[in-house]
Structure 1
């Protein structure tokens, strides 16, 4: 395991809730080693964390620039609320063969799900949905969505918010 993968995994494990109520499965970490969902000091280009936090916490999340300084607090709240985000693929993947890379890690995702036993699972990013929706449903994984949730980068924030707004009521006990 590379040092970068180990650091990301340690950060992810640090924020694992007990119990895991909702597991979000994203595609892979960013290709910039200093950026990760669970790294508290990411000054920019932290779109998944920003957008997911906005969707889950609404008006509690203020101006992004100010909230970035409070990221560790937000991550602790995310954890306390039973949310956990993991990547299907532990290392960054390139644009080609995204679905194939995710599918190659299907067993890893199933192991995480079997270990944490979430009440609900949300797949984030269309390649993740296309690769894992059928195999996860076949294994009885409690997927809440009926279609893909776009990754909130590259101008897709509106689509992400729209899809998550439809899912949000299904995430509450």
Structure 2
């Protein structure tokens, strides 16, 4: 019971942080796999001390004239919001070994609510599970399979993400 309460509190903190940076019009929706397991790390937390790989990688490409640092993350999140960029996770809670496919119908509903102009799926398993359903639904999803920018995949992420941004 205590773990469930703690998980609900973290989920609420993440939702509030994301809502703060949600654009009025979502031009570019990024769909990642799941939030990090660590309660103090999340794409939309402005004060992440370590392992903020996804945020930094996205910011470097979308905001190429600004180097992401811990001290300017809140400002960069505002700039991403102002450009219409928003990130959601396929799975609402950290990865725990469960398969991702059961989360795809809910993802479709969340995407319909956000009505993005473009969608990029980040991480191979997210692409493999979600792309067919999004494409069948006629959603504006990129056909580029973008790897997560870690574990030696940083260069591949940069290349694939850039191709997806260019409209592939």
Q: Return the TM-score normalized by structure 2.
A: 0.91
What residue is the counterpart of 1:81 in the other structure?
Answer: 83
What residue is the counterpart of 1:162 in the other structure?
Answer: 159
Q: Give how far 1:169 is off.
A: 2.1
What residue is the counterpart of 1:24 in the other structure?
Answer: 30
Cα distance in 1 between the residues matched to 2:151 and 2:90? 20
Runs of 4+ in 1 over 3 A off after TM superposition: none
Cα distance in 2 between the residues matched to 1:89 and 1:42? 21
RMSD: 1.4
Cα distance in 2 between the residues matched to 1:76 and 1:110? 26
Q: Give how far 1:9 is off.
A: 1.1
Structure 2: 5+ residue runs without aligned partners?
1-6
1:122 to 120, 123, 129: 120
- Give yes or no for contact 2:144–2:163 (8 Å, CA) kept in 1: no
Aligned residues: 162
Residue 18 of structure 2 is aligned to residue 12 of structure 1? yes
Structure 1: 5+ residue runs without aligned partners?
none
Q: Return the TM-score normalized by structure 1.
A: 0.89
Cα distance in 2 between the residues matched to 1:10 and 1:110? 21
1:44 to 46, 50, 66: 50
What residue is the counterpart of 2:146 in the other structure?
Answer: 149
